[in-house]
Structure 1
Amino acid sequence: MNATPRTALAVAVAVIALVLSAGAGATASLLITGKQIKDGTVSSRDIKNRSLKVKDLSPRATAKLKGAAGPVGPRGATGPAGPAGASGLSGFEVVTRSLPIPGILGGVGGTDTLTAACPEGKKAIAATAAYAAPVANLLSQVTRTSESAFRATGVNLLPTPQTLSLEVVCAAIPG
């Protein structure tokens, strides 16, 4: 094929037209902004598919995207049993002992001691002592004597005998 001036001119015009048409879209995108587009004129047909993100939507539109909860699925298989706990208390029992503490004899207060112990296989975890009549001039002190027993010492500064009670809380403690 021989190139003639007429063919060369046609090719040159075609190249110029191609360059101008390809650059026109890019130039338009640089010149048109969102402020220049009239509200309500862009339709869903004008928006490129898969170009919108959830953050581009209003909270109201986002709320409409959430459907109703589906039905509850089947229960899964039961897992293996875990190891036994390191400690656990069981078999609680309260052991109570009472003792009358004599009153003042010749100006000296009455003093006595009582002990309460847990049954075999149980340990003492707490204890308390109290008089039947909560009045002044009655004293008591509780002391642990072993892993399974407590002692209460009572002092009565009243002229009449008073009953002192000692309660020990016992429990089976593994290990």
Structure 2
Amino acid sequence: MRINKKGQEEIVGFVLVIVLVAVIFLIFVGIFVRQDSNSTRQESIEVYQFLDSFMQHTSECAIGFEPAYSNVGELIQQCYSNSECTTGKSACSILNDTLEEILDLSWNVGEDRPIKGYIFEAKFDSNLSSNNIIEVKRGECGQSVRGSEYLIPAFPGTIVSSFNLCF
């Protein structure tokens, strides 16, 4: 009877070792699967808040009549529709000028600065296609990126505005 108990204890110990090794293996696999080898883009609440307030900034473009000036979010939609402002300039031209002005004043980028560059892009996404509306880049982007997206409903799809800061 003593021999059977010793065998059972050895089997229980062996099973515990196998379970422990399996758990450690799964933890390592989970860590390696989550890592993106190309770049590390992190979602940023600060960038989202910047995008949110940035989309509410009033531009110098009025589509129907003055003084009904469009904000940046509306201007992106009007640029996608190829609308023209009451001044005769295209909505895309005013949008580009407004984006460059706000982004350059808000973010100091350069090789000697903590923020090396940024990328702002807006595109129209639907189930059938994806069309770029506008893109503004400054500086260089490396491996470390923080950013966020801002969604604007635009039937039959969505306008996705993304802003990424490069470190």
Q: Which structure has the greater CA radius of gyration?
A: 1
Q: Which TM-score applies when normalising by structure 2? A: 0.26
**Greater RCO (CA < 8 Å, at least 6 residues apart):** 1
